[in-house]
């Protein structure tokens, strides 16, 4: 795979890999490497020449048997993952404890992507096996940075569920922009939910603009102070309480955000005045 293609590979993409390492080749009396499908677990460094990827294995055909008993470090590839280019259904189990770094030159082509629901299931397996001593030992041996990679995969998947930094084409750009700075261009108060205030915010930076609804406990004065200066995208997403809720439980179903009015955005400086006017109107009713 060429370098300009590698930089567009996303978390959860399935790639065909040559020379994927086989840790059990001695016990299985097979080759030390094998051409196989694998799931990319993160593209978290700009200009990276190698990405962590988890093998998809049929376990010598055993995983294709309906009676196959899935291990605690495995997740079955969903049936709907079919590659149209090579007309093949991608079948088998994702080995969720594998984190080898796969170089771009080993990646032959992208063949598909995991749906969001499957990525959330994979997070659940990561959360489970990171507390299992035997699994931790295996993961440490192959890649000492396994916990950091797990954390990145979870963060990017949560961002996708929140549709944070989703462009007009439906592509999620967060993992490519998380270390880029963005400024608040405009803001609109939407509603109050219990102890949370919901604001629609337009962020701009790096030649791009995104709109996102933030749930925050901060007061108007705190917002005017804390959101005045540019922040990295990874700092902005942490201003949304919905992000923290999903970090605790990625399966959580959130109440839909209210729709902003296209003509009711204002500057951060004017936000307090508009809020005072709104409160005065409510008192007069």
pLDDT digits (tens, 9 = 90+) for 20-79: 998 755 555 567 788 999 999 988 777 778 999 999 999 889 999 999 999 999 999 998
Mean pLDDT across the stretch 171-178? 94
pLDDT higher than threshold 60 for residue 5: yes
How much is the mean pLDDT over the chain? 90
Length of the chain, in residues:
285
Q: Strand, helix or coil at 102? A: strand
The structural domains of the chain, with segments of one domain joined by +, span 3-162, 174-284
C-alpha–C-alpha distance, residues 245 and 130, integer Å: 20
Task: Report the C-alpha dihedral over residues 260, 266, 268, 271, rounded to 10 degrees.
Answer: -80
Pairing mode, if any, of strands 13-21 and 33-40? antiparallel
Helix%, strand%, coil% for the chain, nearest 5: 35, 30, 35
Residue 147 buriedness (CB in 10 A; 0-12 / 13-18 / 19+): middle
CB 223 within 8 A of CB 267: no
C-alpha–C-alpha distance, residues 93 and 103, integer Å: 22
C-alpha–C-alpha distance, residues 178 and 263, integer Å: 29
Helical axes 146-162 vs 133-142, angle rounded to 10°: 100
At 85, is the pLDDT very low, low, confident or very high (cuts 50, 70, 90)? low
Instruction: Kindly report which listed range (84-88, 239-243, 277-281) carries the lowest average pLDDT score.
Output: 277-281
- 170 versus 1: the higher-pLDDT residue is 170
Residue that is written with structure tokens 């205030």 in the block: 197
C-alpha–C-alpha distance, residues 122 and 108, integer Å: 24
Buried b (16+ CB within 10 A) or exposed e, 5-36: ebeebbbbbbbbbeebbbeeeeeeeeeeeeeb
At 272, is the pLDDT very low, low, confident or very high (cuts 50, 70, 90)? confident
| CATH code of the domain made up of 3-162 | 2.30.30.110
- Check the CA dihedral 130-134-137-142 and report its sign: negative
Q: What is the pTM of this model?
A: 0.91
Residue 224 buriedness (CB in 10 A; 0-12 / 13-18 / 19+): middle
pLDDT digits (tens, 9 = 90+) for 182-221: 999 999 999 999 999 999 999 999 999 999 999 999 999 9
Which DSSP state fits 1?
-
CB 147 within 8 A of CB 155: no
């Amino acid at each position: 795979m060429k370098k300009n293609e590698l930089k567009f590979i996303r978390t959860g993409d399935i790639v065909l890999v040559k020379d994927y390492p086989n840790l059990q080749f001695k016990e299985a009396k097979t080759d030390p490497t094998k051409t196989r499908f694998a799931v990319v677990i993160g593209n978290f460094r700009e200009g990276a020449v190698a990405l962590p990827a988890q093998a998809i294995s049929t376990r010598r055909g055993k995983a294709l048997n309906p009676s196959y008993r899935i291990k605690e470090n495995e997740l079955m590839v969903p049936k709907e993952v079919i590659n149209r280019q090579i007309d093949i259904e991608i079948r088998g189990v994702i080995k969720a404890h594998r984190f080898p770094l796969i170089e771009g030159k080993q990646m032959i082509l992208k063949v598909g992507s995991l749906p969001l629901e499957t990525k959330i299931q994979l997070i659940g397996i990561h959360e489970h096996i990171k507390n299992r001593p035997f699994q931790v030992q295996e993961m440490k041996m192959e890649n000492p940075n396994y916990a950091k990679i797990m954390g990145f995969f979870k963060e990017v998947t949560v961002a996708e569920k929140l549709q944070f930094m989703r462009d007009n084409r439906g592509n999620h750009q967060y993992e490519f922009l998380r270390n880029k700075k963005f400024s608040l261009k405009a803001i609109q108060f939407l509603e109050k939910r219990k102890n949370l205030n919901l604001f629609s915010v337009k962020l701009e930076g790096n030649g791009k603009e995104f709109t996102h609804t933030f749930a925050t406990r901060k007061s108007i004065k705190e917002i005017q102070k804390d959101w005045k200066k540019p922040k990295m995208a990874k700092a902005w997403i942490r201003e949304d309480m919905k992000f923290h809720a999903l970090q605790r439980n990625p399966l959580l179903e959130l109440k839909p955000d209210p729709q902003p009015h296209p003509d009711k955005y204002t500057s951060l400086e004017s936000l307090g005045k508009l809020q005072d006017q709104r409160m005065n109107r409510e008192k007069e009713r």
